[in-house]
Chain A
Amino acid sequence: MSLCARDVSLSLGHSEALAGICLDVSPGTLTAVIGPNGAGKTSLLRVLSGELEPSTGTVEIDGDQIDALNPAELAERRSAMGQSTPLAFDFLVDEVLAMGWVQSRCRATQCTAMCEAARKCDITHLFGRPFRSLSGGERQRVHFARALLQVWPHSATANTRVGTRYMLLDEPTSSMDIAQEILLLHVARSVLAHSVGILMVLHNLNLAARFADCVVLIDQGKIVAAGPPDRVLTNDLLSSVYRTPVLVERHDALGRLVVHTH
Chain B
Amino acid sequence: MNSAAQVLHARGQPAWSAHAALACAMLATGVLALLAGAVDISIKSLFHDADAVLQRMILLEIRAPRVVLAACTGAGLAVAGAALQGLFRNPLAEPSLIGVSSGAALGAISVIVLGASLPILQPLASYSLPIAAVAGACLVTLFLYGFSLRYGQFGIVTILLVGIAVNALAAVGIGIFQYLANDAALRTLTFWMMGSFGRASWDTLIPAVSLMAVSMLPLFALTRSLDLLQLGESEAFHLGIDVRQVKRCVIICSAATVGAGVALAGIVGFVGLVVPHLIRLVLGAGHRYVIPASALLGAILTMLADLLARTLFAPAEIPVSLITSALGAPFFLWLIARARPR
Q: Are A and B bound to each other? A: yes
Q: List residues of chain A with CB under 8 Å of any chain B CB.
A: 46, 49-51, 70-76, 78-82, 84-85, 87-92, 94-96, 99-100, 102, 111-112, 114-115, 118-119, 124, 127-128, 150
Distance between Cα atoms of A52 and B234 in the complex (Å):
10
Q: Are A99 and B8 in contact (CB under 8 A)?
A: no
- Is A82 touching B91 in the complex (CB atoms < 8 A)? no
**In the complex, are the beta carbons of A91 and B286 less than 8 A apart?**
yes
Separation of A95 and B286 alpha carbons in the complex (Å):
8
Q: Are A82 and B8 in contact (CB under 8 A)?
A: no
| 7 closest residue pairs by CB, A with B | A75-B240, A85-B232, A89-B285, A80-B238, A72-B240, A88-B89, A124-B4
Contact of A88 with B235 at beta-carbon distance under 8 Å, contacts A71-B241, A95-B284, A111-B9 already known: no
| Interface status of B56 (Cβ within 8 A of chain A) | no
A127 to B241, CA, bound (A): 25
Spot the interface stretch: B117-125, B185-193, B223-231, B249-257: B223-231
B284 touches A85 (CB 8 A): no
B residues less than 8 Å from A50 (CB atoms): 237
- Known A-B contacts A71-B240, A99-B227, A99-B228; the reply to A115 vs B235 at CB < 8 A is no
Within 8 Å by CB of B4, from A73, A90, A119, lies: A119
C-alpha spacing A259/B15, complex, angstroms: 53
CA distance A46 to B237 in the complex (A): 11
- B285 and A91 within 8 A (CB): yes
A to B CB contacts below 8 Å, 17 in the list: A51-B234, A51-B238, A72-B242, A74-B240, A75-B238, A82-B234, A87-B89, A87-B231, A88-B91, A89-B280, A94-B7, A94-B8, A95-B286, A111-B5, A111-B8, A124-B4, A150-B238
Nearest A residue to B242 by beta-carbon distance?
A: A71
| Chain B residues positioned under 8 Å from A118 (CB to CB) | 4
CB closest residue in chain A, given B90? A88
- The reply to whether B241 and A82 form a contact with Cβ atoms under 8 Å apart is no
How far apart are the CA atoms of A169 and B296 in the complex, in Å? 41
Residues of B within 8 A of A111 (CB): 5, 8-9
- Decide if B2 is an interface residue (CB 8 Å cutoff): yes
Q: Give the docked Cα–Cα distance between A24 and B228 (Å).
A: 29
B98: min CB distance to chain A, Å: 15
Max chain A Cβ within 10 angstroms of own Cβ: one of B8, B232, B243, B285? B8
User: Footprint of A on B, CB under 8 Å?
Assistant: 2-5, 7-9, 11, 85, 89-91, 156, 227-228, 230-232, 234-235, 237-243, 280, 284-286
B7 with A99: CB separation less than 8 A: no
**Contact partners of B5 in chain A: CB under 8 A:** 111-112, 115
Given A82-B238, A99-B239, CB of A127 within 8 Å of CB of B8: yes
A53 to chain B, nearest CB (A): 12
Q: A119 CA to B85 CA in the complex, in Å? A: 33
Q: Which of B7, B231, B241 contacts A85 (CB 8 A)?
A: B231
Residues on B with beta carbons closer than 8 Å to the beta carbon of A89 = 85, 91, 230, 280, 285
Report if A114-B8 is in contact (Cβ < 8 Å); known contacts: A88-B90, A88-B91, A90-B284: yes
Query: Which residues of chain B come closer than 8 Å to A95, judged between CB atoms?
Result: 11, 227, 284-286
With contacts A70-B242, A111-B5, A124-B4 known, is A82 near B228, CB below 8 A? no
Besides A49-B237, A82-B232, A89-B230, 15 other A-B contacts (C-beta < 8 A): A51-B234, A74-B240, A75-B238, A81-B235, A82-B238, A87-B230, A88-B156, A89-B285, A90-B285, A91-B230, A99-B227, A99-B228, A111-B8, A115-B2, A127-B7
B238 and A79 form a contact (CB under 8 A) = yes
Q: In the bound complex, what is the Cα–Cα distance between A80 and B228 (angstroms)?
A: 13
Residue of A nearest to B230 (CB): A87
Q: Which residues of A contact B3 (CB under 8 A)?
A: 124
Shortest distance between the CB of B197 and any CB in chain A (Å): 31
Chain B, residue nearest A124 (CB): B4
With a cutoff of 8 Å between Cβ atoms, the chain B residues found around residue A124 in the complex are: 3-4
Question: Which of B89, B238, B284, B286 interacts with A49 by CB under 8 Å?
Answer: B238
Closest partner residue, chain B, to A118 (CB atom)? B4
Taking CB atoms, residues of chain A closer than 8 Å to B2 are 115
- Chain A residues near B231: list those with CB within 8 A: 84-85, 87, 96, 99
Point out the residues of chain B lying under 8 angstroms from A90, CB to CB: 280, 284-285
* Neighbouring B residues of A85 by C-beta, 8 Å: 89, 231-232, 235
Shortest Cβ gap from A153 to chain B (Å): 18
Q: Which residues of B contact A115 (CB under 8 A)?
A: 2, 4-5, 8
